A = this chain, B = another copy of it.
């Protein structure tokens, strides 16, 4: 008998990753190619299909393909709505195109749900009943999974944890609101915060690096400086952690999750934020749910989305067969 495998695909503005994933969530083979978004979704998926043909082994039985994609995705209809990172791809029936090219059952979802479902099924959220995955990157995203089901809300628009208001009179966010979590914790906000704190410092590892390396300020560079003992850089994450703690305290009071995982590129800096995150939660959340929640870094790193899409399609294909 052939081994059942599932495709997990992560379509970004620059690159696309594809992984062949076993039924238990292990990546068996993988590749990454340029998206070339301008040439349109049909061409991109055709190139993904030939990529998959190269990876494929005769002993595998392909059970389905799951595509994760940045933007507003109508998962029920398999359609990508708006997509700031994939200009020209708006209102594309991605699931239908993928089904034609791969010849299997296909699913489409947004990248936050893809990563959240990966962490839920194979990473930090395994076995949890109410799971929250917060993604720290350029923006702040999220995904909520209740009893194994992604909480999608209307047209898959739920999970925008970065756009909870934590301070009504706070700074303006890219979304137009004031005082969103993202306005304090997005990459731009962290860089702004570093600039502000550096302005008052005479000597600083970070200042020295910026001169010597001529590198632009980034959350990664600030984190590196904090780890090297830079006080201002450390304060950036201390303050950011307090804001993250405020948002998590609200989520704890409202959802009472078992597990909150911190994912995304900036999650590597989570240990720098962790003390102030925990202090803030202790001050702000109810004692009972706060004592019962586990807050952990995500486990799957950049594989979360491809594993998540593969596991999602595995679940769904199994469900559809049994119906």
Contact A166 B163 (CB under 8 A): no
* A249 close to B (CB within 8 Å): yes
Q: Give A231-273 as 1s and 0s: 1 = Cβ < 8 Å from B's Cβ atoms.
A: 0000000000001001101110111111000000000000000
Q: Give A281-294 as 1s and 0s: 1 = Cβ < 8 Å from B's Cβ atoms.
A: 00111101100110
What CA separation (Å) do A247 and B179 show in the bound complex?
12
* A24 close to B (CB within 8 Å): no
How many of chain A's residues have a CB under 8 angstroms from any CB in B?
Answer: 49
Chain A interface residues (CB < 8 Å from chain B)? 72, 130, 142, 144, 146-147, 149, 151-155, 157-161, 163-169, 175-179, 243, 246-247, 249-251, 253-258, 283-286, 288-289, 292-293
| 9 extra A-B contacts, CB within 8 A, seeds A157-B292, A160-B286, A165-B249 | A130-B151, A152-B256, A154-B293, A155-B292, A165-B250, A165-B284, A167-B167, A168-B243, A177-B249
Question: With A163-B253, A167-B168 in contact, is A284–B177 under 8 Å at CB?
Answer: yes
Contact A158 B254 (CB under 8 A): yes
Contact A254 B289 (CB under 8 A): no
Looking at A157, A166, A249, which has the most chain B CB atoms within 10 Å of its CB? A157
